Chains A and B, each alone.
Chain A
């Protein structure tokens, strides 16, 4: 692997091509699982596993996949890995699996994974594709963790289920409900774009 290409993949996925706040993909689960930090981490681990391995598989098979049905083949590859994640969660973390509910299955239709398979894995070798999948997953994960941290802190006064804010704190219950999720992500995008655009202007 060439160092400059590795660096380019990593910086694109974590920064200027970030799947969540630049491309605005995979929003469903970004919003749905971020009310509690613990669930978010489990979801992120699952997603990184699926993006990495499905990118690797699609890339390895890319010469044998007929162009006409490639979307279907990609979806099936992704679905198989999601089933693995689902079964592992149900076996080892049944409580979290129940709380995540359908959102584990919905990793299949998470546009980030499909997007990386289409845009990157279909035209790059397996090693780079694995790296691209893993870093795209990481780029998604750190945004979710930041959002989940603030939603749990403001909405329940706790972090990782442990109460950190004293009795003086009134929970902003809207933060753990749907509207809070929309506001948080909107504000996050605003802050990131605001800071980032300033930097671009200076340079």
Chain B
């Protein structure tokens, strides 16, 4: 299998068959908290795509060219979280300068993202699975898109659900988790398409 094809299949798998939210449970906290409205979900989703793709690539470079040669692999958690926090801070400043519209849309979500476990999770998975640089980038991008897909779908369902009658104990997180379970089953239907 060529490098490009491998990266593409990792990208595809990260969106559909190995969705980071629906099979690895990452990013659940913000998923449950923010998925009430489609519009805010799209804003957060795009911020996640951007940060996840960029930090997966950056963390790959840090891991391969700094941590491994210096034999400091056990410090990867601190290194990764610092790279993520620094990138988010930088991205916030750049976006603020470049575009008011974009800042209004994404700005408020960026600080939330540092503690989104999906971002750190993507970097940790990429190290464990020993991806190449391009595969790591493809994985980060795909995972971001997959996460966004899941949160937008969820927000759509929850907006419709506002008019439904739900047992009182299930309101809020309870019903959201059960719907996520059904979404996970739906995505499992795609599992045979690709194998990584």
A residues with CB within 8 A of B: 24-29, 31-32, 71-72, 75-76, 79-80, 82-83, 86-87, 101-102, 105-106, 108-111, 114, 174, 177-183, 185-187, 189-194, 197
Instruction: Verify if B124 is at the interface (C-beta below 8 Å from A).
Output: yes
Subset of 26 A-B contacts with CB under 8 Å: A24-B32, A29-B25, A71-B114, A71-B115, A75-B81, A75-B85, A79-B78, A83-B75, A83-B77, A102-B121, A108-B120, A109-B115, A109-B117, A114-B115, A178-B22, A178-B23, A182-B178, A185-B177, A186-B170, A186-B175, A186-B181, A187-B178, A189-B173, A189-B177, A193-B170, A194-B169
Instruction: Determine the distance from Cα of A114 to Cα of B30 in the docked complex, in whole angstroms.
Output: 14
Assess A189 versus B169: contact at CB under 8 Å? Given A179-B181, A179-B182. Answer: yes
Chain B residues within 8 Å of A87, by CB? 74
Shortest distance in angstroms between B55's beta carbon and chain A's nearest beta carbon? Answer: 13
Chain A residues within 8 Å of B119, by CB? 109
Shortest distance in angstroms between A113's beta carbon and chain B's nearest beta carbon? Answer: 10
Assess A24 versus B125: contact at CB under 8 Å? Given A105-B77, A106-B26, A182-B181. Answer: no
Instruction: Determine the distance from Cα of A166 to Cα of B124 in the docked complex, in whole angstroms.
Output: 39
Instruction: Determine the distance from Cα of A110 to Cα of B75 in the docked complex, in whole angstroms.
Output: 18
Pairwise interchain contact A101-B128, C-beta atoms closer than 8 A: yes
Bitwise, B71-82 to A at CB < 8 A (1) or not (0) is 000111110011
Chain A residues within 8 Å of B27, by CB? 28
Of the candidates B77, B176, B180, the one whose C-beta lies within 8 Å of that of A82 is: B77
Secondary structure of the B contact surface, majority rule: helix
Shortest distance in angstroms between B196's beta carbon and chain A's nearest beta carbon? Answer: 15
Size of chain B's interface in residues, with CB distance under 8 A? 44
Secondary structure of the A contact surface, majority rule: helix
Chain A residues within 8 Å of B116, by CB? 109
Chain B residues within 8 Å of A190, by CB? 167, 169-170, 174
Chain B residues within 8 Å of A32, by CB? 24-25
Pairwise interchain contact B175-A28, C-beta atoms closer than 8 A: no
Interface residue ranges of B169-195 to A (CB < 8 Å): 169-170, 172-178, 180-182, 184-185, 188
Shortest distance in angstroms between A186's beta carbon and chain B's nearest beta carbon? Answer: 4
Assess A83 versus B78: contact at CB under 8 Å? Given A27-B25, A108-B120, A182-B177. Answer: yes
Chain B residues within 8 Å of A80, by CB? 78
Interface residue ranges of B72-99 to A (CB < 8 Å): 74-78, 81-82, 85
Interface residue ranges of B1-59 to A (CB < 8 Å): 22-29, 32
Pairwise interchain contact A102-B124, C-beta atoms closer than 8 A: yes
Instruction: Determine the distance from Cα of A110 to Cα of B77 in the docked complex, in whole angstroms.
Output: 13
Assess A110 versus B117: contact at CB under 8 Å? Given A28-B26, A105-B124, A179-B188. Answer: yes
Chain B residues within 8 Å of A174, by CB? 185
Pairwise interchain contact B120-A28, C-beta atoms closer than 8 A: no
